[in-house]
Every structure is written in C-alpha cells, then in structure tokens.
Structure 1
Amino acid sequence: MSASGEGILNVMMRGGDPATEAGWEDAPPRMGFFTDTSICIGCKACEVACKEWNEVPEDGLDWLGSSHDNTRHLGADTWRHVAFVEQRVAAPREDEQIGRGADEGFRWLMASDVCKHCTHAACLDVCPTGAIFRTEFGTVVVQDDICNGCGYCVPACPYGVLDKRESDGGIHKCTLCYDRLGAGQEPACAKACPTESIQFGPLEELRERAAGRVELLHEAGVTEARLYGEDPADGVGGDGAFFLLLDEPEVYGMPPDPVVTTRDLPAMWNRVAVAAGALLVGAALCFGGGDRS
C-alpha cells in the first residue's frame, strides 16, 4: 500500500473515498469527528488531552478579556480550540425561567474546533515535499521529519488551521491521533470528552447520527440547530470533522462557505498549456517560413 504521489494532482480527483484515491488498497472505513456543540460544556478536557498525548507545547494561555477563551484560535500549538461565545438573547418568559435568571438575557455557545481533514485538501495539493499525506483512514497528516516549513499550506487552508511553530520552523496541526488509530484506539480528545460532545467513528455513521440529532433538536424547538461541514457536495467535498452548530458558522469563527483554494488549478494549467501551445505555433510561423525576399 502506498499513500505517496498525490501532490498537486489531488485536486483533480473528485468523488469516491479519499484514501482509495490516494493509493491505499483495502482501506478501512473513513474515520472522522462529529462535534455536537449543543452539549459542549467548555471544560477544555479535549485541549488538555490533545496536548498531553501529542506533546503539543504550551501556547501562552492568554485571556482575551472579553471571553473565557484563552487559546484564541487553532494553530501550531493549539490543535483543539474551545471557543466561548457570549450572546445577548431575549429574556425568557416566566414559564421558561427554570434554571435561568429572569434577567439573565444571555447564553454561552461553546464549541471545540479542530482541523477539518477535508475531502479535497488544499494543503495536501500545494505541499512540494510530500510532507502532507492522506492516511488509510482518510485523514490528512503532516510528517514532521519531511516538512521543510515552506508555509505554502498555511494560506491554502480555507479554514486557517495550519500554522508554523516558531521553535522548530515546521508546520503542525491535528493528526486525528493517527498513531492511536493505528492501534485501534480513539483520538485522545474524544476519549477525554465527558459529555460526548466530540464523537469519533466511521464518517458515514457519524453523518447519520448527526442528522438524527438535528431532527431531535428541531422537534424540541431548537430550530436554529444546523450541521456544518457534513455535506459531500460543499466546496471542500465534505469535512472529515464536522459540527452541529446553534448559530451561523461565522459566530463560531468558521467560514460560511469554504471552498478548496486549489479548485481552479486544473483549469489554470489548461490555460497555460493552451497559451504555451499558441506561442510555439506563433514562433514556428514566424521563424519557420524561410526567406521571403
């Protein structure tokens, strides 16, 4: 089995299982995350477990001043980021005040963000060294010993996930605990989540479970519940890590309509080839016509 040889050609392959397209034979089911933010309590157990297992450096723990968020965003030293969003809401009616103050007037939205392990991964497309590869589980991993820190993948990611670590000059992000998956274990963050807000398993099963969860919430009157990143027809071919949100994705710091940034590369190369061909034809006509005197 081999996962090499993807490079820039990954963007030209559409549909099907990404691990199979990457060259893995008899690949297992694609694995991923479903994060149900409606039951996230913001405990940050996922952040701690991720750092401990993957030996991710401490990243400052700087309080924002406007939130309980102390890691700000995903980065080379933050592979799981728990966002805290405080929202002003209408005060509840008297018959809805159980467990809430009458003058409360706000709610917390909490969500544990992570690399999306896109079906069409622009970071993989632009990596010149092959440091970024598609695993047999369909996830996207950066190999530290091959990465040269060029940074091409950083602006290529539509989610702003990849980042360079100043201490070693390399690019780092979530691996979906590739080493644990190979040993038949679940990722550290999902293992540590006390509410099962972070759920791990075969991606298709997670999508079915998530659809059922949204339907249940809608029946309970939580009509704002929606899925983000689960649709294989979206701009990145669907995410390997998707979410149930209770508001627009922008509220959580996620792009509303992400598109693989290398989407137009095949068409661009086709135009370059056509232009080069026309130039060669023109040159041949100019210099190959012989003496016309």
Structure 2
Amino acid sequence: MAERMGFFTDTSVCIGCKACEVACKEWNELPADGFVFEATSYDNTGTLGASTWRHVAFIEQARPVPAGDDDEGVERWLMSSDVCKHCTHAACLDVCPTGALFRTEFDTVVVQPDICNGCGYCVPACPFGVIDRREDDGRAWKCTMCYDRQRGGLEPACAKACPTDSIQFGPLDELRERAEERVARLRADGHGEARLYGESPSDGVGGAGAFFLLLDEPEVYGLPPDPVVTTRDLPAMWRWAGAAAVSVVGAVGLAFLGPRGSLGSPGGRGGGRR
C-alpha cells in the first residue's frame, strides 16, 4: 500500500470563497443541488450530500463584550470547508453488503457507484452524516479524495483550487506535524481556543484521514464532539448472538429428547405400556 494521504483543513485561513466546492463539482461532474440562497446565511449549499462533497460553512458569531465596554459586540465569521473524514475505522465499510465501499492504496475510502445497490446501510452508519443517496438513482455518493487524480500523481481538485492553503493535501503524518505547529503558533498569538479535530489515532474512529484546525468547539461547526465508529460493538454482538443460538439449539434438543434422554414419552419408544 502507498503512503497514507489525507487532508488538513485550517479553518483559521478559510475566506469562504467556495473555490473548493466549485472545483470539486467541476472535476467530479457533480450535479447542481439547488444553490438556493437562504436569508439567514451566505451559505448556498447548506450541507454535505450526495452532490456536494465539499461544503463551506458560514458561521456568524457575536462574541461576548467585557463588562463596562460600550461596544455593542464584535462579530466574527467562522468558515470551514467540510468533507468526508476517510476514517481509519470506517463504519460505512463494515456495513456495505456488496463491497461497493473499499479502501484504496492511499488508505482513503471510496464508493464504487457501479457496484452500489442503493441499500443505504452506509448512510446511518457514518457518525458524521457524510454519505447520502441521490434521489434519481438511490445510490450512495461521497468524497473520493479525488482518487483518480491521486493515481495520476495529482492533488485533489479542492486543495489545488484553494487560494489560501486552507485545504492542504499530503502524507498524513506530515500534515499532523504541520497542524500541531500551526496550533502552537496560533495559541502563542493569543488564540487559545485553537484546537485540532480528528487528528488523533486514539479517538473514536481511530483518527481521520481528513482533519481540521478549529477556532471553537466542534459543535459550533456542526461536528460531533466525540465521534465513535458506529460498528464498534458488532464483534461482541455477533459473539452474543452465537452464544444465544447455541443455547437455544441445546434447549430445543433437550426438550425434544425428553427428561430420560429418549424420544417420546417416559415409557420409551412405544409411547406407553402395552
């Protein structure tokens, strides 16, 4: 297998230009998904979905004002380009019955649309709500981290198009080191809230292949604070089910044989006295 590749998205330098969304749609020939402007936000795509594999969220915040300050408050924008996390322990892979989902040589997770049967098991299995099905054909779709471009030695379209290097692509171990240095610099500059999300191999999904630098709690960005692979209990469940099945078979066998270990009634094969 080749070196594991991934995304590091530094939200502190995201300007919300949505170049990543456009590049992703253009390269992967994704259909339009409404582009309906909502008066409550500048975000015109809303969320990740079957036709939006990169989504830039616009989060408007009114920060608290110190006591005695006459200022009405300082607003700030938090922007973050969200994407499939390409989990180390991917529940979508565990539940796919057809093998449509597979792990590539770059340790990314990809859906093969020609094999997907539209069962939808992967949709609730994803702890991040990334995978979705299209209404027209029912098949599941999500980010492939531009698997075709990677095989050609190219970086994914979203990272290529990002004008601020908010989206960085490369060997995952190198990205983690770079991200830790970035967090240290931000905290030294007074941004004590800076943190990494999804980079730790000890988290609930074994670490993500696409992780983030955030400037607030994960929930603010619509991310689960403690994601857990939804299939983590499957091995134990199968063991319990197997043990229960053995117990049931044993009980049925004993009932069938009868209290004296013979077929029929206590009188033996004849079923009673003659």
* TM-score (ref. length: structure 2): 0.92
1:238 & 1:146 partners in 2: Cα distance? 27
- Letter matched to residue 166 of structure 2: S
Aligned twin of 2:180: 211
Aligned twin of 2:271: none
Q: Give % identity.
A: 71
Q: Which secondary structure state, in structure 1, belongs to the residue aligned with residue 102 of structure 2? A: strand
| CA RMSD between the two structures | 1.4
Aligned twin of 1:22: none
- Letter matched to residue 115 of structure 2: I
Mapped contact 1:90–1:106 kept (Cα < 8 A) = no
CA displacement at 1:284 relative to structure 2: 2.2
Residue ranges of structure 2 left out of the alignment (5+ in a row): 268-274
Indicate whether 1:169 and 2:138 are aligned: yes
1:156 & 1:58 partners in 2: Cα distance? 26
Aligned twin of 1:6: none
Q: Which protein shows a greater Rg?
A: 2
Report matched runs for 1:14-53 at 5 Å: 27-53=1-27
Mapped contact 2:62–2:73 kept (Cα < 8 A) = no
- Letter matched to residue 66 of structure 1: T
- Letter matched to residue 3 of structure 2: P
Q: Which secondary structure state, in structure 1, belongs to the residue aligned with residue 60 of structure 2? A: strand
Aligned twin of 1:61: 35
Q: Report the more deviating stretch, 62-71 or 108-117.
A: 62-71
Once superposed, which parts of structure 1, at least 4 consecutive aligned residues long, lie more than 4 Å away? none
CA displacement at 1:103 relative to structure 2: 5.5
Q: Which secondary structure state, in structure 2, belongs to the residue aligned with residue 29 of structure 1? A: coil
The Cα offsets for residues 146-170 of structure 1, whole Å up to 9 and x where unpaired, read as 1111111101100000111112221
Aligned twin of 1:191: 160
2:140 & 2:83 partners in 1: Cα distance? 15
Indicate whether 1:86 and 2:60 are aligned: yes
The Cα offsets for residues 157-201 of structure 1, whole Å up to 9 and x where unpaired, read as 000001111122211100000000000000000000000000000
Aligned twin of 1:260: 229
Count of aligned pairs between the two proteins = 259
Indicate whether 1:136 and 2:110 are aligned: no
* TM-score (ref. length: structure 1): 0.86
2:143 & 2:129 partners in 1: Cα distance? 13
CA displacement at 1:279 relative to structure 2: 1.1
